[in-house]
Structure 1
Amino acid sequence: MRRLLAALLLPLLLMVSPAHADLRITRDHGGYVTEYKAKYERIRERRERVIIDGICNSACTMVFGIVPLNKICVTPRASLGFHLAYYDKAFTFGIKVNSSEGTSELMGYYPQPVRDWIRRNGGLTNEMKKIKNGVDLWKIVDPCPEDF
């Protein structure tokens, strides 16, 4: 009887249990801070994992300040890119205009290891500063287990 009950209840439990999915970042060049903030807050609320398996530049790197670091890992293909925030060029006639408020907001999201790396590498500039797989990256976030 117990086996029959378990066999009947298991499919029901699977249907009502929240599905957990990993976000795998492979080629993300960034975008609007507000969109990334909302995206990563949803991931944090659902307790999902983030696997950085390629390029994560600009606003993509906000993941480190919103999703808990124990829910993020990097593969050997991971690459992070940081630069000064700037206003949407559609509103500045195609000219890149830096945003001190946006840059300050970005820096406010980053945990101390990210801020330390940025400081050691000359601070944020208009040019993309990149961290690739290796010791500097592992000071910020753990490598993914082998099964990723």
Structure 2
Amino acid sequence: MSMHKSLLVLTAAAALASCAPPAASTSTASTASSFVVGTLDTSDTAIQGCTVMLSRADAESAGYVFIEDGVDVGAKGFVRIDGAILQLDLLSSEGDDNGGVRTFAKDGTQLVETWTAGAANEASDSVGRDATLVITRGGAAQTVRVVGGVAC
């Protein structure tokens, strides 16, 4: 094949390839980035009495990501999503003094807290808490490992 014909065949192949539809995406990117979980300050809530305050386990000093009433009936929980403070209602609470699962929800946002109790501090009337929060909103979900405690 002559040099001219080879060049012509290669040019035609390149032109056809550029007209082909793009290949289907094989991306498995998580939808977790569909919302941003921000931090709270105690002044962002209206909780009086026993309070659970939880911060990201890898960034405790950055602020609280979830603050809730430390009661089993009628509790409110607060989380900041996409800059807005959301007040969630406690739907269920199962467990004992050593750990449990609490589910909060409102207006399409659900937060499930699976927790275990840590060390008690009688002087400050508080108990440590390690937990995992699974936050679901608009079909996207994020899992956040948190630490903190409940104080009365």
TM range (shorter): under 0.3
Larger Rg: 2
When normalised by structure 2's length, the TM-score is 0.27
Q: Which has the higher contact order (CA 8 A, sep 6+)?
A: 1
When normalised by structure 1's length, the TM-score is 0.27
- Structure with the bigger percentage of helix: 1
